[in-house]
Amino acid sequence: MPHGSLSLPARLCLLAWDSTPEAMGTAHLVRAGALTELARRGLLTDEDGIATPADMDSLTADAVLDGLLELVRESRPHRWRTWVTLHARVTSDAVREQLTADGCLRAERKRVLGVFPSVDHVLERTDVVASLREEARGLLEQTPPVAEVSEVSEEEAAAVALAVAAGLPALLGDGDRERHKDRVEELIGRTGVSGILSELCSALATVPH
C-alpha cells in the first residue's frame, strides 16, 4: 500500500500502533485526524469554536470520514475539543476495518471466556508502519524550516503535529513535547487549517492517553 493512499486518520492509527492498539488515547488521536481531514476538505468549518458542517449533503467517498460527518450533522453542536473524545471509538473502529480491508491489518476472531465473540487486529504490514515512523521522525527533526521543504504534504504535516500533541511514544521517546514546540507550529501552519488544528492539538495534549 503506497503511503499516499492512506487517509490522515489511517496514517495516525498506524503511527500509533503498538502492543495496545485499542487504547483510548489512540482513538482520540485517530478522531482528531478525521476532524482535521474534514476541515481540510471544507466539509467542517469553524463557527465561534463550534465544528459546523458546511452543508447537509456533501460526502467524501471515504467511509470513515463520511461516518463522522454524519455523526456531526445528526448531533447537537459541539466544540472541536469535545469531538476529539465524544464517541471516538466509532471512528477508530471504522479505521481499523478500513485498514483490514486494505491488507495493513489482519482480523483474528476469538471468543472471550469461550463464549463472547471478539476480534483482535494484528499488524500485517510492519514495513508500512516502520516507513511512516521514519518519515515522521525525519520531518520532526530535520533542520530546514518546513516552509523550505516543498515535498512536505499537508497530510504529513498534520499527522506529525497531532502525533506530537498526543505524546506518541513512536515519535517522542523522551515524551518531551515542549522541545518540538516551534517545529510543530511550523507544521500546523503548513496545513491550511491552522486555527482548527491548533485547537485539536491542544485537546489531545490534555485528554488522558
Confidence at residue 177, expressed as pLDDT on a 0 to 100 scale: 82
Q: How far apart are CA 21 and CA 168, in angstroms?
A: 12
Confidence at residue 141, expressed as pLDDT on a 0 to 100 scale: 85
Helix (H, G, I), strand (E, B) or coil at 105: strand
Confidence at residue 19, expressed as pLDDT on a 0 to 100 scale: 46
Confidence at residue 107, expressed as pLDDT on a 0 to 100 scale: 87
Contacts of 179 (CB under 8 A, 6+ apart): none
Q: How far apart are CA 133 and CA 139, in angstroms?
A: 10
Can you read off the three cell numbers belonging to residue 6? 492512506
Rg (CA), the chain: 17
Asked if 196 contacts 39 with a C-beta cutoff of 8 angstroms, the reply is yes
Q: Which amino acid is at 160?
A: V
Confidence at residue 105, expressed as pLDDT on a 0 to 100 scale: 93
Q: How far apart are CA 73 and CA 61, in angstroms?
A: 17
Confidence at residue 77, expressed as pLDDT on a 0 to 100 scale: 97
Percentage helix, strand, coil for the chain under 3-state DSSP, each rounded to 5: 55, 10, 30
Confidence at residue 9, expressed as pLDDT on a 0 to 100 scale: 97
Q: Which amino acid is at 63?
A: A
Entry pTM: 0.91
Of 100, 76, 102, nearest to 87 (Cα)? 76
**Ranges of the chain with pLDDT below 70:** 1-4, 19-25, 110-118, 143, 147-150, 174-175, 209
